Amino acid sequence: MREVRRSVRSAKGIVLAVLTLLGALVSALVCVQIEGSERTAVEATSNEAFIELKRKGLEQLTGDASLAAYMASVPTSLLVFLKITVWFLPLLVALLGFDAVAGELQQKSVRFWTIRSRRGSYFTGKLLGLWVVVGLSALVLNVLADGVAVARGYVTLGQAVAWGLRFWVVAVVIAGAWTAVATFISASFRAPILALLTTFATFFVMWLFGLGGFIARVHDSAGAGLGGIAKEMSWYEYLYPNSYDAMLISAEGVKVLTGVGILVGFVAAMAAAGSALFARRDV
């Protein structure tokens, strides 16, 4: 709770909140514009034909036929905003969390806190506090985007609540992995600027793992035609948290639980490793 209050009240937190809201508003307008363009296309064809075309496009992109069939009826504006949120949250995590531990190590204020609590508890509190702040930011983003879509009449209130809530949970679970990495890196440095640069470099390398898998899936799917099914995730894609979005929004409960289990396990492993590292340091 201390970490949540610290992030919300700080000048950095306020500036990032304003920028986040502005970015969310622009993204929401872009999403509803895409939705409007698709609805214009629907007027020239039947709704069933449009959903089928959308299903084929999703299947070619994701390589998952069952997922494509399940997601074809989801409002495009909400689906696009989910992708934007998943891509945006790592940046927010990096900017909010790079000095979570490094800043206090630099100022040596961490010495006063570790007298009152174990160092493992201190590190875990930093991680969970950052995760909560990012989750609240994602909630505000989703409420704003869903509100714009509902106001434009592209999404019903029921769709906004049902799909919006699920997409928010997906974004928060994925953000947890990024949060764990950022907190671990922050605890590894005394200088916040080094933590920031290392965080961005690490996130970029992880993004390359995901990009390689995305290119391979699209290539395989294109080679098999519109009806082709791309290969499953490669081993290196599991190192990129955003790769789990398709797994988490799947209609198959086993896939969803598998994705949640892997990401939560990753957070727990990073928390344990970070706590052990932090406990051995001379703070």
Q: What is the pLDDT of residues 154-186, one digit of tens each?
A: 677 887 788 888 888 999 999 999 999 999 998
- Range scoring the smallest mean pLDDT among 114-123, 163-172, 210-219, 226-235: 226-235
- Range scoring the smallest mean pLDDT among 1-15, 116-130, 169-183, 219-233: 219-233
In this prediction, what percent of the chain has a pLDDT beyond 70?
A: 63
What residue type is 128 in one-letter code?
L
Give the pLDDT of residue 160: 77
* Angle of the 119-151 helix axis to the 253-280 helix axis, nearest 10: 140
The two three-digit tokens of residue 248, written as one number: 């988490």
Q: In this structure, how many other beta carbons lie within 10 angstroms of the beta carbon of residue 281?
A: 13
Position 230 pLDDT exceeds 50: no
Kindly report whether the global pTM for this prediction surpasses the value 0.85: no
Task: Please tell me the distance from the alpha carbon of residue 145 to that of residue 242, in angstroms, as a whole number.
Answer: 20
Mean pLDDT (the chain, rounded)? 75
Question: What count of residues does the chain have?
Answer: 283
Give the pLDDT of residue 229: 36
The two three-digit tokens of residue 200, written as one number: 């961005």
Please state the three-class secondary structure of the chain as a single string. Answer: CHHHHHHHHCHHHHHHHHHHHHHHHHHHHHHHHHHHHHHHHHHCCCHHHHHHHHHHHHHHHHCCHHHHHHHCCCCHHHHHHHHHHHHHHHHHHHHHHCCCCHHHHHHCCHHHHHHHCCHHHHHHHHHHHHHHHHHHHHHHHHHHHHHHHHHCCCCCHHHHHHHHHHHHHHHHHHHHHHHHHHHHHHCCCCCHHHHHHHHHHHHHHHHHHHHHHHHHHHHHHHHCCCCCCCCCCCHHHHHCHHHHHHHHCCCCHHHHHHHHHHHHHHHHHHHHHHHHHHHHCCC
